Chain A
Amino acid sequence: MTATDGLKIKRNLNALVEFSKAVNSSLELKFILNNVLLTCMGKFFATKGAIAINEKGKFKIMVTKGVAKDFEDNFPILTLKDVIDENGTIKNITEFGTFVFSELIQASDKNLGLIFLGDKLNKTPYSVEDQQFLRTILNISATAIQNSMVINELKKVNKNLDTRINRLNSLFELSKEFGLFADSAKVAKLLVYSIIGQFMIAKYAVVIFENDDINIIENKFPSDELRKYLDKNEYEKIDSAIGAEKLKSKYNSLYNLGVELIVPMQIQGKTKGIILLGGRVNKQQYISNDIEFIYSVGSLAIISIENKRLFQEELEKHKLEEELDLARDIQKNLLPRNIKQLNNFEIAAENISSKQVGGDYFDVIQQNKDNCYIAIADVSGKGVPASLLMANLQAFLKSVCKQEISLVEGTSMINDLISENVTGGKFITFFWASLNDKDKTISYVNAGHNPPLLIRDKKIIRLEKGGMILGVMKTKYPYLTETIQLQKDDLLVLFTDGITEAMDKGQNEYSDERLDDLVKTLGDRSAKETLSAIQKDVKKFTLGAVQSDDMTLLIIKVK
């Protein structure tokens, strides 16, 4: 061995030790590969070089030196088969232009990658010695390369895990928040913040389908256009996410607004709203994991919004029912509980209040030993307002009954008082009469109420004399009145329109004619029996259909 040879070996060894230190000091794959490539190029005076790394069976270029920029893009997809032949011999891959020499990077049984080298500067071919040296360098660096590849893989797995944990946290956090907030606007805001924060999105909209309406609660797209392009019937049918490609072909107008993803918000498979998202600021595509997350938060949000709506509805229904109970109570307390019986008149009366509580009213008020007032009225409207007006009427009526004034004067007075006290087109139909127990007479005034029927010998007389309904304007013309001498077995039927307008399921009315026909046949019955006979007949007619108005009857039978 000559002295020069010795020096050469020593220099080679020194270089190897230096190299080994360098590559093993780092876990950065790029740094290691750079080092390997530069060392080889320096050693062999090669002007070009590249290293490809084996990623799941495919070799992908990681570092290049001295080659054109688009080299990496044009690099063919190599698999192990391209690199090693059937006999396990490593092929020399040089055919894509630039390189003259290649070598496999191996660690124990694994093929980590490929190194390619170009022509030597002095154009001499690679010698066997060169090849051995290259193998030595690759052997030294293989462990470091393998370690850094494992670390890279771990980092990737970790990042995926972190992303998943982050998303789970978001879901958990939102499910907590959605339970607390009162209004859907806030829920929608949190929903979009979570989504745009997670995916870095600048343009978004949240649209909810309510009854026949499209409600855009959050929007960063041009809002007029968005509204124009949204058709509830069409979008309600969206039952899975729609990506950019399908948007481009099917919902082009939305795509042109910048919408790249539509995710439905569903409750039990029914689409109640949609989330529209623009592209991600980092230009990444939405992958199925992303869409799943958006679908989950969207569903959480819509459930919360829907629950709030249902709760509100329930609350209002409850309120309404309470109000109706109150109205029913007022009405019950206004109507007489025990009806005074007279010597010559038998009186029976009953009010059946409807679900909505109409404004029916009747009363029997003793004036003095011989005279007794009877009254029946129907206040317009329903519920609490109607019952309050009814209470007013009763107060006025009771005070007027205490005065020694005529029915005509009394009616005028009550009308004036009611007119002063009502607003908004409310009115009362009102009939009242004075029964004289001694003379067996009835005097009455009818202020627009359904004419009571006087049945005598199967003939009907309608008690129609009177005037205008109460509450429309102050009394201008005096009300008319009539006094009738009654006979034994005369029957008086006072009723409200709830009776004659009672409906069956086919929306047919009970009608005046049917009532007329019925009452003619009731001649030999008592007041109470007459009352229940009419009620029964109405019931038979309606066959259980729900009635929208009160039904009131007041029956007088002359003894």
Chain B
Amino acid sequence: MTEFNTSIKNIGDVTVVYLNGFLDAHTAPVLENTFSDLVEQNKFKLVVNLKDLIYISSAGLGVFMAFIEKMRENKGDIKLTSMNEKVFNIFDLLGFPLLYEIFDNEEDAVKKYGGEKK
């Protein structure tokens, strides 16, 4: 059984990262590797689609914290989309909406990068 995995789709210069399963202390290194790989490929404009993310713990949120500065320093960002209510509640509880842009759907998040370019 895979507890957690990620997959990637490129739309223009925006990278959409799909998270699937349980993101906790045990699986946090998986997401960390995914983000590290993207940084290595100079991909800084990320949209993270949380449609299939069932659970996230603080360790999972920590991975987002660990990479947000890196992305923004390189004119990119981590935008979040399509999270279910339970996942949103955890993001909300810890105050993440203050720091991260959260969208209802992937298209809007991707478009936001286009808008920022003009």
Q: Mark A170-184, 1 if CB is under 8 A from B, else 0.
A: 100110110010000
Name the B residues within 8 Å of A190 (CB-CB): 25, 28, 59
Nearest CB in chain B to that of A177: its residue: B25
Of B29, B69, B94, which one neighbours A197 at CB under 8 angstroms?
Answer: B94
Q: A242 at interface (Cβ–Cβ under 8 A)?
A: no
Name the A residues within 8 Å of B89 (CB-CB): 162
Q: B88 at interface (Cβ–Cβ under 8 A)?
A: no
Q: In the docked arrangement, what's the CA distance between A201 and B65, Å? A: 7
Nearest CB in chain B to that of A190: its residue: B25
Whether the pair B57, A195 counts as a contact (CB closer than 8 A) is no
Whether the pair A162, B93 counts as a contact (CB closer than 8 A) is yes
Q: In the docked arrangement, what's the CA distance between A143 and B75, Å? A: 51
Q: Mark A148-190, 1 if CB is under 8 A from B, else 0.
A: 0000000000010011001101100110110010000010011
Of A174, A193, A194, A200, which one neighbours B96 at CB under 8 angstroms?
Answer: A200
Interface residues of B in 41-95 (CB under 8 A from A): 57-66, 68-69, 89-90, 93-95
Whether the pair A169, B93 counts as a contact (CB closer than 8 A) is no
Q: B1 at interface (Cβ–Cβ under 8 A)?
A: no
Q: B112 at interface (Cβ–Cβ under 8 A)?
A: no
Nearest Cβ on chain B to A395's Cβ, whole angstroms? 53
Q: A545 at interface (Cβ–Cβ under 8 A)?
A: no
Q: A170-B58, A173-B59, A174-B59 are in contact. Are A200 and B65 (CB under 8 A)?
A: yes
Whether the pair A173, B25 counts as a contact (CB closer than 8 A) is yes
Q: A166-B93, A177-B26, A190-B25 are in contact. Are A197 and B62 (CB under 8 A)?
A: yes
Q: B11 at interface (Cβ–Cβ under 8 A)?
A: no
Name the B residues within 8 Å of A174 (CB-CB): 25, 59
Nearest Cβ on chain A to B25's Cβ, whole angstroms? 4
Nearest Cβ on chain A to B107's Cβ, whole angstroms? 27
Q: In the docked arrangement, what's the CA distance between A193 and B24, Å? A: 10
Name the B residues within 8 Å of A162 (CB-CB): 89, 93
Nearest CB in chain B to that of A165: its residue: B93
Q: Mark B1-40, 1 if CB is under 8 A from A, else 0.
A: 0000000000000000000000011101100100000000
Whether the pair B59, A193 counts as a contact (CB closer than 8 A) is yes
Nearest CB in chain B to that of A203: its residue: B69
Q: In the docked arrangement, what's the CA distance between A193 and B32, Å? A: 10
Nearest Cβ on chain A to B97's Cβ, whole angstroms? 10
Q: In the docked arrangement, what's the CA distance between A355 and B98, Å? A: 65
Name the A residues within 8 Å of B63 (CB-CB): 193, 197
Name the A residues within 8 Å of B65 (CB-CB): 193, 196-197, 200-202, 281
Of B64, B68, B93, B99, which one neighbours A282 at CB under 8 angstroms?
Answer: B99
12 pairs of residues in contact across A and B, judged by CB atoms under 8 Å: A166-B90, A166-B94, A173-B57, A189-B29, A192-B62, A193-B28, A193-B32, A193-B65, A195-B62, A197-B62, A198-B62, A282-B95
Q: A176-B25, A189-B29 are in contact. List 15 more A-B contacts (CB 8 A).
A: A159-B93, A166-B58, A177-B26, A190-B59, A194-B25, A196-B65, A197-B62, A198-B58, A198-B62, A200-B96, A201-B65, A202-B65, A202-B68, A282-B98, A282-B99
- What residues make up the interface of A, taking CB atoms closer than 8 Å to B? 159, 162-163, 166-167, 169-170, 173-174, 176-177, 180, 186, 189-190, 192-202, 281-282, 284
